[in-house]
Every structure is written in C-alpha cells, then in structure tokens.
C-alpha cells in the first residue's frame, strides 16, 4: 500500500541515460502487460463461451458419465480419478487390501475407523455403526461401499440410502412417471436390495448438471426440501433452489445434496434434513427434541440416542470461509488450466493433496505454511475430540454402574438424556470429515458443550442428583450470542 507514495520521489532522482533506459523498460513492461491482459481477456471470453465439441447430443435421460465424457473429456478424466486413495494426516483415505469373499468381493477398502478408535464401539453400542465404519473414500466407490458395508448385514436398510450413493435422478423420474418427488417417495419405501437394482452409477454428471446448458443444478429431493425449510426459517418462503440460488451458492449446494446430517422420517422412510429451525448443532438438536426422533437405544445404558452423519454443509456454514463467500468447489474442485481453458478439477478429494491450486489462489502463504495452519486447526480439534470422547465413555460406564446399583429412575433418565446430547454433539464433529477445518472455533465450541453434557450426566447420577444446569454462556446482563447453546439445554 505504500508503493504509490514512494514512486514520485524515486522518479525525481532519475537523470540522463537512466531515464532513457527506464522509459524503454517501462514501454516493454507496458506492452507485455497489454499482451497479458489480451490473453487474459481472450481466455475469459473462451471460458464464457465454454467451448466444447458436441460429439453426442446429451439429454435428460443419459446417466452414463462415459457418454457425457465424449463432450467433456477433461472433466470426465478428473471424475474417473476419484478411484484414487491417498491418506493425509486426518483425512484422505488409505487403500487397505482385503481378501475378497462371496459376501464382499472388494479387494481394497478404506481403513476401519473402529479399529483406529475402539471407543467408537462403546459410543455406538447397539447400533449398526458399531459393527463397521470406515474412512470415506472417493466418489467412484460410493455404490459398492454402501452395498458391502456390514451395516447392511446387521439391519434391513431402506431404499432411501441410495439417494446419496448413486445416480438416482433418472431412476426417480422413471419410478415417478416423470415426477422426481413421486419417484423419490417410492424408492424410499423399497427394500435396499430392490432399489439397488434400479441404479447403475455412482453420482454422475446428470446429478449436478443440466444436460443442455451444463449449468449446475440440484437434483436431490432431500436437499430441495431441506434448503426450502431452512430458508423458510430465515423468512424466505417458497425457496426454489434451482431458480433462486446464485451461481456461487450452487457451487456449494451441489455438494450439500449429500454431505449433510439426515434421518428417515416416519414409516415412509422419507429422507429428511433436520433444518427447519436452522443448521447449527443447537438448532438441529432442538429440531430432534421437538420431533421426538431418535436413532437407536444404547445397548449399555438404555438411552435413546441419535447419531450425526457427515454434517459438512452445516459445519462449513459456521466457518470463516463460508462467511467470506468461498464455496466447496473452490477448495475441492479448484480450476486448473488446460491450454487456454480453465477446467474445474472433477477429481473431488482432500484439498490438502492439492494445496497449490486449492488454497494458493487466495492465500499467499507457502504450501508448507498452509498445510501447517490446516493441521494445527485439525490437531487442536482432534485433541478436544479425544477429551470429549473420554468424558462420554466415562458417563456411559457410570450409567451402567448406576443401573446395577439400582439408582433412581429419575436420575437415570436425566443422565440418559444428557448422554444423548453429549453423544450427538461429539458425533457432529466426529462425523464431520474435515476434523474441524471447515469451522474451527465452532468445532471446539460444540466439543466443549459435549464435555459439559457428559459432566452434567455424571453429576445427575450422584446421590441427590447433583447440580444439573448448564452455566449460562454469556457474561451477566449480556444478550444471548447467536448460536450459543444457552442455559436451558443442560436441564432438560
């Protein structure tokens, strides 16, 4: 910022030949600058036209990405590379060899999270997740991983599962005689195996793109309904995502179709995103409290509990990047230059494997510095997560002992309710796959609330029930902070 002020001073000191040289250099720089600008303008015009060779005519019935790939070979190449597995410190995924069996023909899977941290088995005791839970990997694997997880063996899963694990757009429309939502409702209620037969591909081009314009679009009923409920809660009624969202929002919403917390509502097993009160963890917890939904009964304590699933969209929304207008695609699908064209990298993966393009377009820090900053956030989150997990496991064991010792129903009920809260809050960070990066301060706030819920649960088991109100989280007399958990939660 100080450059312009210094410049005149310098120029006055030029004299004679120095001036001639300076003028020549300036002229050369100026013409180089003009050329660069022209190239830039041409590139931008090219991008605007988004030139491609129409080898095939695409329409709204073609699911197979290989057909789309004939028109867009660069994007298709990237898309195919989502088979790759590479581990980062807290993310990515590791390729673990396994001996294929008839029940599960996969020869490579991702590492088991249950083996990495057996406390998860205690936390999810009695739920299918305690039998098999692995690190997630690239999009190419989503269908097979869903079919062969042992969670399919221990419970009967509904067709709803496929909403986020396959290219369901065309199958939904077929099932619903042209009506997407009708088809969705029908598939939700099918047994998984039956629904699976209707789907051929993992998430495909048609799920995010309009075939005639290639514009981004949302095709998932869960998100179409969820985002409308969220907007309504913010005073925007009848929000139609494909008409009302900006392009930059769409660069996030296409991912929010699946990377969200969800549950199956009622006996229709309708896939529902619990956003009608808002999308931070307190609002989602309040939604479930009102709705009364719980996922399972904890096998060791009898508590009716909830598991959070991959709330990337929700957590990202609480973070500095979302607030600054940065979209999922900016980091996970950054532009790469191919000749005169800019192409979005369709090899969706950890940005930490691609810092140069994923981060350095905006940040001038070195790659090493960026990696270090991201990992510092993640390590802090991981340590706090571990404390919260120990606290929860302690509460679970205390509840088990209190049950055996014949504690009063009242104190058990109170402690079980707090177990549910401690578990959901912890899971909200645990199941979120960025290890805190998407919203670092929010992650630590959530974990400290989780620790507090466990503490209050242990208090509730003491003779006399203990003091079981959560401390008010604001200084005396101050207005409630937006998104703060507030006092009432601990006492419910």
Q: Between residue 305 and residue 344, which ones bind ligand HEC under the rule CB under 6 A?
A: 310, 312-313, 316, 320-321, 324, 326, 328-333, 343-344
Angle, CA 267 vertex, CA 234 and CA 412 arms, to 5°:
80
Instruction: Name residues whose C-beta falls within 8 Å of residue 249's C-beta, 6 or more positions apart in sequence.
Output: 327
Candidate list 225, 417, 440, 442; residue touching ligand HEC; CB under 6 A = 440
Candidate list 346, 347, 416, 455; residue touching ligand HEC; CB under 6 A = 346
- 109 sits in which H/E element: strand 108-109
Taking alpha carbons only, the member of 330, 374, 331 closest to residue 351 is 331
Per CB under 6 A, contacts with ligand HEC among 398-417 are none
Candidate list 196, 231, 251, 269; residue touching ligand HEC; CB under 6 A = 251
- The smaller minimum CB distance to ligand HEC, of residues 198 and 395, is found at 198
- The smaller minimum CB distance to ligand HEC, of residues 338 and 410, is found at 338
Beta-carbon-side half-sphere exposure of residue 366 (alpha carbons within 13 Å): 3
Supply the minimum distance, in Å, between the C-beta of residue 330 and ligand HEC: 4
DSSP assigned state of 92:
B
Beta bridge partners of 270: 265
Candidate list 63, 67, 69, 421; residue touching ligand HEC; CB under 6 A = 69
- The smaller minimum CB distance to ligand HEC, of residues 303 and 328, is found at 328
- The smaller minimum CB distance to ligand HEC, of residues 374 and 415, is found at 374
Pairwise CA distance, residues 420 & 289, whole Å: 11
- The smaller minimum CB distance to ligand HEC, of residues 111 and 484, is found at 111
Supply the minimum distance, in Å, between the C-beta of residue 254 and ligand HEC: 4
Kindly write out the interface string for residues 19-58 of this chain, putting x where it contacts ligand HEC by CB under 6 A and - elsewhere: -------------------------------x--------
Supply the minimum distance, in Å, between the C-beta of residue 11 and ligand HEC: 33
Please report whether residue 79 would count as binding ligand HEC according to CB under 6 A: yes
Per CB under 6 A, contacts with ligand HEC among 252-281 are 252, 254-260, 262, 271
- The smaller minimum CB distance to ligand HEC, of residues 287 and 316, is found at 316
Ordered DSSP codes for 149-163: STHHHHS--BGGGGG
Supply the minimum distance, in Å, between the C-beta of residue 414 and ligand HEC: 31
Distance of CA 74 to the CA centre of its chain: 25
Supply the minimum distance, in Å, between the C-beta of residue 240 and ligand HEC: 18
Please report whether residue 433 would count as binding ligand HEC according to CB under 6 A: yes
Ordered DSSP codes for 135-204: ----GGGHHHHHHHSTHHHHS--BGGGGGGTS--HHHHHHHTTT-HHHHHHHHHTSBHHHHHTT--SSS-
Q: What's the distance, Cα to Cα, between the start and end of the chain in Å?
A: 55
Sign of the CA dihedral 377, 382, 387, 393? positive
Per CB under 6 A, contacts with ligand HEC among 221-240 are 222
Taking alpha carbons only, the member of 338, 341, 373 closest to residue 355 is 373
Burial (CB count <10 Å: 0-12, 13-18, 19+), residue 96: middle
- The smaller minimum CB distance to ligand HEC, of residues 351 and 490, is found at 351
Supply the minimum distance, in Å, between the C-beta of residue 26 and ligand HEC: 32
Pairwise CA distance, residues 469 & 476, whole Å: 16
Candidate list 139, 186, 231, 416; residue touching ligand HEC; CB under 6 A = 139
DSSP assigned state of 479:
P
- 337 sits in which H/E element: strand 335-338
- The smaller minimum CB distance to ligand HEC, of residues 423 and 434, is found at 434
Count of positions on this chain that bind ligand HEC (CB under 6 A): 90
Q: Which tokens belong to 125?
A: 């005791």
Q: Which tokens belong to 174?
A: 């077929």
Supply the minimum distance, in Å, between the C-beta of residue 304 and ligand HEC: 18
Supply the minimum distance, in Å, between the C-beta of residue 32 and ligand HEC: 27
Stretch that binds ligand HEC, among 69-77, 94-102, 385-393, 457-465 (CB under 6 A): 69-77
Candidate list 58, 123, 130, 138; residue touching ligand HEC; CB under 6 A = 138
Per CB under 6 A, contacts with ligand HEC among 349-388 are 349-352, 358-359, 361-363, 370, 373-374
Per-residue exposure over 27-50, b if at least 16 CB sit within 10 Å of its own CB, e if not = eeeeeeeeeeeeeeeeeeeeeeee
Candidate list 58, 67, 120, 164; residue touching ligand HEC; CB under 6 A = 164
What phi and psi, each to the nearest 5 degrees, are found at residue 265?
-90, 125
Instruction: Count the Cβ atoms, other than its own, within 10 Å of residue 265.
Output: 15
Supply the minimum distance, in Å, between the C-beta of residue 42 and ligand HEC: 17
Candidate list 58, 63, 67, 72; residue touching ligand HEC; CB under 6 A = 72
Per CB under 6 A, contacts with ligand HEC among 188-227 are 203-205, 207-209, 214, 216, 222
Please report whether residue 147 would count as binding ligand HEC according to CB under 6 A: no
Beta bridge partners of 3: none
């Amino acid at each position: 910022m100080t450059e312009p002020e210094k410049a005149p001073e310098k120029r006055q000191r030029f004299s004679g030949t120095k001036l001639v040289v300076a003028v020549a250099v300036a002229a050369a720089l100026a013409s180089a600058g003009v050329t660069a600008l022209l190239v830039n303008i041409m590139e931008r015009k090219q991008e605007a036209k988004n030139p491609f060779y129409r080898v095939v005519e695409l329409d709204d019935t073609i699911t197979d990405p290989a057909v789309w790939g004939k028109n867009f070979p660069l994007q298709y190449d990237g898309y195919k590379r989502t088979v790759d597995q590479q581990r980062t410190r807290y993310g990515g995924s590791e390729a673990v060899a396994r001996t294929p069996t008839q029940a599960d023909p996969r020869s490579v899977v991702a590492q088991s999270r249950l083996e990495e941290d057996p406390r998860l088995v205690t936390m999810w005791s009695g739920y299918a997740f305690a039998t098999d839970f692995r690190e997630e990997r690239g999009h190419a694997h989503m269908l097979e991983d869903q079919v062969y997880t042992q969670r399919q063996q221990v419970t009967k899963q509904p067709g709803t599962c496929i909403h986020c694990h396959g290219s369901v757009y065309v199958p939904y429309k077929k099932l619903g005689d042209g009506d997407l939502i009708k088809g969705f409702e029908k598939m939700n209620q099918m047994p998984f195996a039956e629904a699976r037969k209707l789907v051929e591909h993992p998430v495909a081009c048609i799920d995010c793109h309009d075939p005639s314009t290639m514009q981004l679009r949302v095709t998932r009923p869960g998100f179409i309904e969820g985002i409308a409920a969220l907007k309504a809660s913010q005073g925007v009624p009848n929000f139609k995502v494909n008409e009302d969202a900006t392009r930059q929002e769409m660069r996030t919403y296409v991912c929010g179709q699946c990377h969200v917390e969800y549950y199956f509502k009622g006996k229709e097993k309708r896939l529902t995103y619990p956003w009608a009160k808002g999308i931070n963890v307190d609002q989602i917890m309040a939604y479930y409290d009102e709705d009364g939904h719980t996922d399972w009964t904890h096998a060791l304590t009898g508590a009716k509990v909830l598991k959070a699933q991959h709330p990337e969209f929700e957590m990202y929304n609480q973070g500095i990047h979302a607030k600054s207008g940065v979209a999922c695609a900016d980091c996970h699908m950054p532009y790469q230059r191919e000749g005169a064209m800019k192409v979005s990298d369709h090899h969706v993966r950890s940005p930490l494997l691609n810092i140069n393009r994923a981060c350095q377009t905006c940040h001038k820090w070195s790659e090493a510095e960026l990696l270090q900053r991201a990992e510092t956030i993640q390590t802090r989150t991981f340590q706090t997560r571990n404390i919260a997990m120990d606290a929860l496991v302690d509460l679970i064991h205390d509840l088990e002992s209190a049950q055996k010792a014949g504690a009063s129903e009242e104190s058990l009920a109170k402690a079980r309710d707090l177990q549910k809260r401690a578990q959901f809050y912890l899971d909200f960070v645990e199941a979120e796959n960025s290890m805190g990066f998407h919203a670092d301060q929010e992650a630590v706030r959530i974990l400290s609330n989780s620790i507090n819920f466990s503490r209050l649960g242990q208090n509730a088991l003491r003779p006399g029930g203990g003091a079981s109100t959560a401390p008010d989280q604001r200084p005396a007399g101050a207005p409630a902070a937006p998104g703060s958990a507030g006092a009432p939660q601990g006492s419910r």
